[in-house]
Amino acid sequence: MGLGLKDIVAAKQRIDPYINNTPILSSSVLNTWLGHEIFFKCENFQKIGAFKARGGVNTLAWILENGERPKHIVANSSGNHAQAVAYAAQRFGIPATIFMAAYSSKVKVQATQAYGAKVVLSQTRDITDAKVAQAAKKDGTFWIPPFNHDQVICGQGTTALEAFSELQNIDAVFTPCGGGGLTSGTLVATRGLSPNTKVFGVEPLNANDAAESLRKGSIQRLKSVPDTLADGAMTMAVGNITFEYLKQLDGFYEIEEEYLVYWTQWLTHVLKCRIEPTCAMPMEAIRRWLRTQKTKKRVLLIISGGNMDQATSKKIWEYDCLAKQPTLSDSE
């Protein structure tokens, strides 16, 4: 494991011409209710509407810097990474084929195609993974995996790098965790820039492969596609690279589906922008952590994206959660 702050900085220089330096928002109302300062790094304003653009662009730019120009790019993804690789390939003028499961968000499939990539749908994640592995064997083809690659991790870590250039004295950073790329990159950047800041990962209880892996000390794979509104965290297992970083976290939270709904509604309301359920779940982890703290804290939450299809949106807004004001109390 050789990644350090210098690798994140190099990635930032590599991707700067192609990505947005996204805003950091806060809500004075939410801060008053909870009694702490919470900052939101809003990657829903990123190219393709998610942080994944960073890892996709960085990996492809790194390939072009360090080897022959690929004839073809392939990737496998449930959504945002698909768009990221399609976007990167389009920017660098390289054909791309993205392998996606049939249950992937329709809006993410359509967006991937809009960036010029060919999309191949398969019935299961295992079939998708097998197809991309086969396609990657062709001469001149390069496979950009969704999380288990050093340069993907470095690209995702630029999110925290940007945040720490604007914020000081942050006590803790919370990130949603699917395959662990964002969480790993955030850990590397944070340890290099603010070593006293704690870093926490968060995933849905219904898709808790990372938490199970950490408990058992080895990578655990889910037996079936998880039933969760957090489609960005529907990975079957973390990678062997990301797992080593996840072991170094200061803590890990598993969040029930009801809180994904609650915090998606509330963060949409107080931040006045569209977010995915995947990046709302860390807010519940923050609430639980803050309940254990005796002094006022400054916390950073990485809003990983804002790509939500209509079907998911209907489930989120089926019931009104805004009548229940956020509080640190468990009676909420």
The CA-CA-CA angle for residues 235, 236, 237, to 5°, reads 95
Kindly report the number of other CB atoms within 10 A of residue 296's CB atom.
Answer: 11
Q: Is 306 helix (H, G, I), strand (E, B) or coil?
A: coil
Question: Is 194 assigned a catalytic role?
Answer: no
From the list 237, 220, 109, the residue with the least C-alpha distance to 177 is 237
Rounded-to-integer distance, Cα 310 and Cα 308, Å? 7
Rounded-to-integer distance, Cα 284 and Cα 287, Å? 5
Catalytic-labelled residue, pool 52, 104, 108, 297: 52
Are 211 and 238 in contact by the 8 Å Cβ rule? The answer is: no
Question: Is 329 assigned a catalytic role?
Answer: no
Rounded-to-integer distance, Cα 59 and Cα 25, Å? 28
Catalytic-labelled residue, pool 27, 47, 77, 78: 78
Are 131 and 63 in contact by the 8 Å Cβ rule? The answer is: no
Measured CA to CA in angstroms, residue 291 lies from 63, 204, 214, 288, 295 at distances of 45, 20, 23, 5, 10
**Long-range contact set of residues 311-320: C-beta below 8 Å, sequence gap at least 24:** 311/106, 312/105, 312/229, 312/231, 312/277, 315/229, 315/261, 316/229, 316/260, 316/261, 316/264, 316/265, 316/277, 317/265, 319/261, 320/265
Partner residues linked to 98 by β-bridges: 75, 119
Q: Mind telling me the catalytic residues?
A: 52, 78
